[in-house]
Structure 1
Amino acid sequence: MGDPDVLEMVQEEERRAGSEERFFEDLSSRESSFLISEEPRFKKDEQSKDSIFFRDGIRQIDFVLSYVDDIKKEAELKAERRKEFEQNLRKTGLELEIEDKMNSEDGKTYFVKIHAPWEVLVTYAEVLGIKMPIKESDIPRADKIPFSCMLGPLKLPRNVKHPHAEYFTAQFTRHRQELFLIEDESSFFPSSSRNRIVYYILSRCPFGIEDGKKRFGIERLLNSHTYSSAFPLHDGQYWKPSEPPNPVNERYTLCQNWARFSYFYKEQPFNLIRDYYGEKIGIYFVFLGFYTEMLFFAAIVGLACFIYGLLSMHDNSSSTEICDPEIGGQIIMCPLCDVMCDYWRLNSTCLASKFSHLFDNESTVFFAIFMGIWVTLFLEFWKQRQARLEYEWDLVDFEEEQQQLQLRPEFEAMCTHRKINAVTKEMEPYLPLCSRIPWYFLSGATVTLWMSLVIACMVAVIVYRLSVFATFASFMESEASLKHVRSFLTPQITTSLTGSCLNFIVILILNFFYERISAWITKMEIPRTHQEYESSLTLKMFLFQFVNFYSSCFYVAFFKGKFVGYPGKYTYLFNVWRSEECDPGGCLVELTTQLTIIMTGKQVFGNIKEAIYPFVLNWWRRRKARTNSEKLYSRWEQDHDLETFGSLGLFYEYLETVIQFGFVTLFVASFPLAPLLALLNNIIEIRVDAWKLTTQYRRPVAAKAHSIGVWQDILYGMAVLSVATNAFIVAFTSDMIPRLVYYYAYSKNAIQPMKGYVNNSLSIFLIADFPNHTVPSEKRDFTTCRYRDYRNPPDHEDKYFHSMQYWHVLAAKMTFIIIMEHVVFLMKFLLAWMIPDVPKDVVERIKREKLMTVKILHDFELNKLKENLRMNSSDFAKHLIIQENKVHLAKSAT
């Protein structure tokens, strides 16, 4: 090799050695100068109001902060905090652009727009362990189901249902960028991942040292009103598609294919929901959709049972005897209250007895057992659906997000002690248990007090019903009832309807106040993390709402009419009011009425509130903001004027669904139409939630979740409890067991076994045995009256004691409860054992994907190693030649 060639090779090596350093120095200086001088490339009035970019039209806005000048004493402190915070954000690599208040529609709000450049995204994608595609999957989709051609009208277009192809994925690593399918850096990370990364930085960015402690996090700045809001942008208008250069408007696609009420029969675009809102919101809609699908089967069976009761209503021997003037018309019943109430004929409850048969017939037992099996299938199939979702959404190896474990600002502010974290080995705030115990006691006492208040309000409603019962009875059970005049509005039904409506109003009032008190109490407990805060609030809210919504139903089902006593020896509430009695046909009709009013009222009120409340607030906020119509009403201003979904937005959605689940399962034996009402409500609920989330709320920060969390345990607990409650309802609230005992043990008519049942179920009381203070004011020439119980007649040596038939019926009820519970629980355990938690095909897919991912990574590393070895060997050979030539040149010079 000649001397010129050797010299050129040496110079090339020196140039290459310094090129990287000069490149990064130049890049750093250009970035610094760019961040310092953020000069717009064109005027603001030339910018589209739907633009989601900086003024240069290139850098996409990933997050927006807003604030208003504060005229109070803390104005300077807040300004200093903002300045420090924004400087630290720039140091992390984020790019900021500030919109002056003079450009805002209201003339007083500043907006800080944030963009995450590529280097920031790849760095924090690695930190958060975000999985990104490395190769298109060769595993076919598992969305083909039998008779899918029949479900064509329910399907969405394929590009909406599956907006992206399926890929094998791996945790992103910036040192392996060549491994990932990066076609365009600006669109490689979806917008949900981008805003999640930016929020991660915002939640950890410091803004100064106060009281000797390092302060950090956007949540603390929001709590102190240093910033008024922080939110990611929607990607466009929901009523029209975006125009270039804006990316594809997923918000518009969701609005057209998901948030429209005319699409109530369509499936939901779960993958698009997940891409836009994140896995945590996505899995809520998957759960709500799956629950609604399962309700369809329960609703069909419940409707069939109701139709059976409707068709057999006129053939029911009990109501036939009650309505017969020669049977029910000749039976004189004892007064339903003291002094004010008169005697009445049994056939005055004719229509009520027919109505009772709609829900208290032979199908009641079948439906109670069916629902016990249904709830097991629902929970087991949901576990399978959840496992399939974990695979499809790359959540198989998911661990709780770090932001869920992040310390709450309130916890740090209250802590005066610090200790080493056993995991991170870093000093962190610590609150001793002795400092928390007083708040725990206060919390427990407050929850107990409010649950006691619910019971007290329920007792007040009972007192109301007892107080007005005599008034209704004096009007409605007068001479008309003794003249065979039949009316559906008996005193029991009338007081039940008014009492149920009053009880529902009380429930809403108590719930309104308790929501705020429970949030305040939970804050006073000073939970360490956001996860602990949500778990504590969940426990309080569920316990209270369980008591609030279900206490009146439990009272009617298991207590009303069970401790009445008998004529001449009634039991009294507070020694003033006589205990409530059930209708001669039982308390099931009243339980049905109570359940219908509370369940339907709650669902209607909830949907109206969810739809109207944010709509009215947003309209008023926009009306106040649009004071300068000549100014640009920009994308970030439009989103700023929307309602905030909040960190507890999903919490209240889950709570509403779980309470409805309780109505459907706990008392379904008394009301087989409950699943149908829940189905109709959920069909509307899905579209209402989709509409408000897409059109009325700011875009929530995307978050990951692989399950519905603690709500799944609550559902399991309610499923177990529902078996017991329905068994007790059939045994003690309905009239099924006494009829069966009469049919098999006491009937004397082989041709018509149920003939004479009504007369057999009523005991005889001698009017002369009435105490003076309870005898009706109207004098009658009757010597006896009848009442609902199994007691010995007046001429028996043990008069008015329970008869043998009472003990036979009681034994039959207890036997039925034991048998039904054991049968249902046995079937539940068998089904749970037979149905795997993870479907076999999902297990195989997971194994296949792991195998392919390992193979792809192995091949990538192997090829990289070979290339490095080849380059190193080439460089080593060149290095030897250079060294030999240097020695040769030195010798020649010498």
Structure 2
Amino acid sequence: MPGRPDVNLVIVFRAAHKNTHLKQRTRNEARKAEQQYLRLIDTLTYAGLKAVGRRGESLGQLLVFVTCPQKHLEGLIRRERHGDFLSGLPVTPVTADCLIPPLSSAEKIRLVYTYVTSSPTDGGLGIAPGASEWDLVESITPLHDVNFNETWVRSWKLSQIASVKLARYSNLRFFFKFGDSVGLYFAFLSSYTQFLAFPAILGLFSYFFLSPYSSVYSILLCIWSVGFVEYWKVRERILSLRFGTRGSFRVEKCRVTYRPGQTWWGRELRIFASLPVILLFAGVLVALLTSIFVFEAFVTQLYQGPGKKLISFSPTLLFAALVPRVLQLYQALAVGLTTWENHRHQSSYNKSLTLKTFALSAIVAYMALGLSAFVYVPFGQSVMRYVQNRLFATSVESGSRSGFGSKIMGLLNGTTVDSTATTTGFTSEKLSNVGALKSSLWERDMSNARRKLNPTRLRDQMFAYTVTNQVINSFTEVGLPYIMRYVTAFRHRHDKNATKPGSPSGEPKKRVVFEDEKERGGMEERVFLDHVREEVALPEYDLFADYSEMVIQFGYVVLWSTIWPLAGVMAFINNIVELRGDAFKMTVHHRRPIPTRADSIGPWLEALSFLAWLGALTNSALVYLFSPELLKSSPLALNDEDDQQNTETNTATKELVVKAVLVALVASHGYFILRAVVRHVVERIWWIGSKEVQLNEREERLMKEKFLEGAGAGAGAGAGESNNGNLSVRNDLGEENVKLGGVEVEDTMGFWDHDEGVDEIKRLVKEA
């Protein structure tokens, strides 16, 4: 955006709550907001930053724009580089009279954000959402570089397969604009998409030329999964060396909400205390999903009454109504438990919360396929007979009882007993007829019920998960936000026309107040502020959803694609679109992500390793149970007819399942041997002797030589360190002779010369 001020951060300050009408706003609350706002501006200004406030989108919302002068930024760089050097990060310390290359925009934003939000004990200001002293600070966000985003999106071409200018990392602008953590995600997604080419080709070959549940396909798939996980472990280490973030966890700042004084074992006990909650909700989810599965796979198939097609949709309705509610409740408890654990660093907090949340997400994703593979197909006839007997027994028992409940059950089963017959002595005759009746609502013939078992159920489910669900997810991420934004804009226009001045029936928009007023900075500032208000209204970008989607997809390919080998093809095609969809979603439908330092994808790597191990178990079990060669010698109950043969086949099926479990255990040990071999080969090929490793070793050696010669970083305490070891927030920063390359951005519109925050809060007092 031409002529825009050089804004590093925008602090969203909420002086009036959204759900509170102005008449309910007391003068004391408005006075508190004014005091905290003035303290916020004073703290930022005294710390050497520039800060001014502007009106937000709604009444009571203030936008505090923050920028760091170049001289002060030099002090922040010097302090961070000294800390990195002392902590062993691969970085050269900044010495006096040293020229620093111009920083990327992501580095500037990260430095200022860390300075503003880190605790005073770490040399920061402690201004962060959730901090008790700043309870009116709603959020902190950087602004998008609109010109870069538009240029970047237009540069995409269909010929760039599995790449958003990231495959070779020759163009580093993405990392420079969005930071290491987001860059690592897209690097992971790009590498994963390229690796998916192998199971896609293998799946096509297996689908057309190999037998179903091919052992060749399963073995090669397991080798591929281990190879990808081990390759990515090396790849992220190389990237962390390339971008100087290797070991960045050593210099991570404390969370503002962290309460010091807790022992290590006290925190471990709190983490362990979360386990019963996780197990409880996991048990509830398993029971709920199993009930829905039985209802969908068996009960709806036996139902023959009116509305059969409508009844077939009831499992989906039950799933949509119950499962998200359970997950929502669990998510709230997981956040509360993770906060209660009192993690010192944000990375450990995110890891704990991620593992808690992903555990139940995986149960929801894979439970239905597991039940179909290891219950429905091997024991489908036995379960169908049990459900059928229970339904018919219920219909007979309902006829022998009286009362409203029996009438309801009788109506459902088509066996309602006439109440007048009871008084005239014909009850026993009617009850005897009940047992002979074939229920008009339920299928009682076992041979017909057996034919209702769906032998292609597993393939149908895999198609739904790997094709239908992914199409829906892509639309939800990219297309649906446009629709929701249009609906929201339409509602706002309607509310603005319907709401009169002074009416308490809604929250009036700020623009109604100053639509005809000129901004002090002129039309250029007005356009800029309108754009900022639109960005602030967007949701924050969270990597969890994107990582979770890709790891779940990896699980579908590794665990279950033996059922339908084309799953790898569908995943590959989806990810080509997903690369661009995620980038577009991040730049258009979400706020700009806050850059953070990262040298790994964190707990998601552990999830990938676990799924690769679990894939060895499931693939071996599926091949042993369902390969055509084994089915000839040990037919499953799905193909049997008479009862005597059913009993014998059920026994054989149980023995086959036990043998499959033993085969899976053997495969588990084989996995660990395979992983050791693959890890050794991958490290030999991609890590040992790589360009990044050699460069890092050479730089470390040169730094140590210079240090021994006395030409290293000089002298004394790091920037901002006082006599008592605490860090000053202003006086000791920016006064060194360190020079930062680049030119100070000139304020042509006088954006930083006037403030609207106090006037806005005083207006709240008048209208209270």
TM-score (norm 2): 0.68
2:617 to 696, 713, 724: 724
Taking a change above 3 Å as real, the CA distance of residues 82 and 523 of structure 1, as seen in their structure-2 partners, is farther
1:765 to 621, 624, 642: 642
Match of 1:123 in 2: 75
The CA deviation string for residues 765-794 of structure 1, in whole angstroms up to 9 with x for no partner, is 37xx8xxxxxxxxxxxxxxxxx67755xxx
- Letter matched to residue 374 of structure 1: W
Q: Is 1:85–2:31 an aligned residue pair?
A: no
Give the Cα–Cα distance (whole angstroms) in 1 for the partners of residues 388 and 466 of structure 2.
28
The CA deviation string for residues 103-122 of structure 1, in whole angstroms up to 9 with x for no partner, is x6767654322221233212
Taking a change above 3 Å as real, the CA distance of residues 645 and 277 of structure 1, as seen in their structure-2 partners, is farther
Match of 1:278 in 2: 179
Counterparts of 1:143-222 in structure 2, within 5 Å, are 170-173=91-94, 175-178=95-98, 180-182=99-101, 188-204=102-118, 216-220=126-130
Match of 1:598 in 2: 465
1:268 to 165, 175, 180: 165
Give the Cα–Cα distance (whole angstroms) in 2 for the partners of residues 429 and 466 of structure 1.
56
Q: Is 1:829–2:644 an aligned residue pair?
A: no
Give the Cα–Cα distance (whole angstroms) in 1 for the partners of residues 713 and 115 of structure 2.
35
Q: Is 1:378–2:378 an aligned residue pair?
A: no
Give the Cα–Cα distance (whole angstroms) in 1 for the partners of residues 223 and 322 of structure 2.
31
* Equivalent position SS for 2:601: coil
Match of 2:150 in 1: 252
Match of 2:579 in 1: 686
Counterparts of 1:543-562 in structure 2, within 5 Å, are 543-562=359-378
Give the Cα–Cα distance (whole angstroms) in 2 for the partners of residues 540 and 696 of structure 1.
27
Match of 2:292 in 1: 460
Give the Cα–Cα distance (whole angstroms) in 1 for the partners of residues 694 and 315 of structure 2.
53
Taking a change above 3 Å as real, the CA distance of residues 570 and 635 of structure 1, as seen in their structure-2 partners, is same
Contact kept, 8 Å, 1:64 with 1:111, in 2: the verdict is yes
Unmatched runs of 5 consecutive residues or more in structure 2: 17-24, 393-443, 493-508, 716-768
Measure how far apart 1:448 and its partner are.
Answer: 1.2
Give the Cα–Cα distance (whole angstroms) in 2 for the partners of residues 518 and 462 of structure 1.
29
The CA deviation string for residues 235-270 of structure 1, in whole angstroms up to 9 with x for no partner, is 3x3xxxxxxxxxxx4333333335x78866544345
Measure how far apart 1:716 and its partner are.
Answer: 0.7
Contact kept, 8 Å, 1:192 with 1:276, in 2: the verdict is yes
Contact kept, 8 Å, 2:539 with 2:589, in 1: the verdict is no
1:364 to 214, 225, 230: 214
Higher mean alpha-carbon deviation, 494-503 vs 222-231, is at: 494-503
Q: Is 1:657–2:550 an aligned residue pair?
A: yes
Match of 1:320 in 2: none
* Equivalent position SS for 2:535: coil
Match of 2:137 in 1: 227
- Letter matched to residue 7 of structure 2: I
Taking a change above 3 Å as real, the CA distance of residues 439 and 636 of structure 1, as seen in their structure-2 partners, is farther
Unmatched runs of 5 consecutive residues or more in structure 1: 1-48, 54-59, 134-167, 183-187, 208-213, 238-248, 310-360, 413-427, 476-490, 743-756, 770-786, 792-800, 866-894
Give the Cα–Cα distance (whole angstroms) in 1 for the partners of residues 36 and 90 of structure 2.
40
Structure with more of its chain in strand, by fraction? 1
The CA deviation string for residues 350-403 of structure 1, in whole angstroms up to 9 with x for no partner, is xxxxxxxxxxx2562111111110101111211221122122211234334423
Contact kept, 8 Å, 2:466 with 2:556, in 1: the verdict is yes
Give the Cα–Cα distance (whole angstroms) in 2 for the partners of residues 586 and 130 of structure 1.
68
- Letter matched to residue 124 of structure 1: L
Match of 1:838 in 2: 687
Taking a change above 3 Å as real, the CA distance of residues 637 and 738 of structure 1, as seen in their structure-2 partners, is same
The CA deviation string for residues 141-175 of structure 1, in whole angstroms up to 9 with x for no partner, is xxxxxxxxxxxxxxxxxxxxxxxxxxx984442x4
- What's the Cα RMSD here? 4.6
Contact kept, 8 Å, 1:64 with 1:231, in 2: the verdict is yes
Contact kept, 8 Å, 1:618 with 1:642, in 2: the verdict is no
Give the Cα–Cα distance (whole angstroms) in 2 for the partners of residues 561 and 262 of structure 1.
43
Percent identity (aligned): 19
Match of 2:474 in 1: 607
Contact kept, 8 Å, 1:564 with 1:571, in 2: the verdict is no
Contact kept, 8 Å, 1:62 with 1:232, in 2: the verdict is yes
* Equivalent position SS for 1:233: coil
Q: Is 1:97–2:11 an aligned residue pair?
A: no
- Letter matched to residue 689 of structure 2: K
Measure how far apart 1:514 and its partner are.
Answer: 4.4
Match of 1:540 in 2: 356
Contact kept, 8 Å, 2:179 with 2:595, in 1: the verdict is yes
Match of 2:207 in 1: 306
Measure how far apart 1:672 and its partner are.
Answer: 0.8
Taking a change above 3 Å as real, the CA distance of residues 107 and 462 of structure 1, as seen in their structure-2 partners, is closer
Contact kept, 8 Å, 2:381 with 2:638, in 1: the verdict is no
Taking a change above 3 Å as real, the CA distance of residues 291 and 643 of structure 1, as seen in their structure-2 partners, is farther
The CA deviation string for residues 576-632 of structure 1, in whole angstroms up to 9 with x for no partner, is 489999978997621222232234343233222222454345556677566566654
Contact kept, 8 Å, 1:400 with 1:705, in 2: the verdict is no
Give the Cα–Cα distance (whole angstroms) in 1 for the partners of residues 654 and 286 of structure 2.
35
Paired positions, count: 614
* Equivalent position SS for 1:669: coil
Match of 2:722 in 1: none
Taking a change above 3 Å as real, the CA distance of residues 825 and 453 of structure 1, as seen in their structure-2 partners, is closer
- Letter matched to residue 547 of structure 1: I
Give the Cα–Cα distance (whole angstroms) in 1 for the partners of residues 448 and 73 of structure 2.
69
Q: Is 1:389–2:252 an aligned residue pair?
A: no
Give the Cα–Cα distance (whole angstroms) in 1 for the partners of residues 282 and 657 of structure 2.
36
Taking a change above 3 Å as real, the CA distance of residues 273 and 620 of structure 1, as seen in their structure-2 partners, is farther
- Letter matched to residue 273 of structure 1: F
Match of 1:113 in 2: 65
Taking a change above 3 Å as real, the CA distance of residues 521 and 389 of structure 1, as seen in their structure-2 partners, is same
Contact kept, 8 Å, 1:170 with 1:853, in 2: the verdict is no
* Equivalent position SS for 1:176: coil
Give the Cα–Cα distance (whole angstroms) in 2 for the partners of residues 581 and 716 of structure 1.
45
Taking a change above 3 Å as real, the CA distance of residues 276 and 621 of structure 1, as seen in their structure-2 partners, is farther
The CA deviation string for residues 32-59 of structure 1, in whole angstroms up to 9 with x for no partner, is xxxxxxxxxxxxxxxxx74332xxxxxx
* Equivalent position SS for 1:705: coil
Give the Cα–Cα distance (whole angstroms) in 2 for the partners of residues 764 and 116 of structure 1.
80
Match of 1:327 in 2: none
The CA deviation string for residues 654-710 of structure 1, in whole angstroms up to 9 with x for no partner, is 122211111111112112111112112222221111012112222222110000011
Match of 1:67 in 2: 13
TM-score (norm 1): 0.59
Give the Cα–Cα distance (whole angstroms) in 1 for the partners of residues 132 and 536 of structure 2.
16
Give the Cα–Cα distance (whole angstroms) in 2 for the partners of residues 864 and 811 of structure 1.
69
Taking a change above 3 Å as real, the CA distance of residues 265 and 556 of structure 1, as seen in their structure-2 partners, is closer
Give the Cα–Cα distance (whole angstroms) in 2 for the partners of residues 504 and 368 of structure 1.
31
Contact kept, 8 Å, 1:761 with 1:789, in 2: the verdict is no
Say which structure, 1 or 2, has more relative contact order (CA 8 Å, 6+ apart).
2
Contact kept, 8 Å, 1:507 with 1:548, in 2: the verdict is no
Give the Cα–Cα distance (whole angstroms) in 1 for the partners of residues 281 and 300 of structure 2.
28
Higher mean alpha-carbon deviation, 855-864 vs 268-277, is at: 855-864
Give the Cα–Cα distance (whole angstroms) in 1 for the partners of residues 82 and 573 of structure 2.
38
Give the Cα–Cα distance (whole angstroms) in 2 for the partners of residues 864 and 129 of structure 1.
13
Structure with more of its chain in helix, by fraction? 2
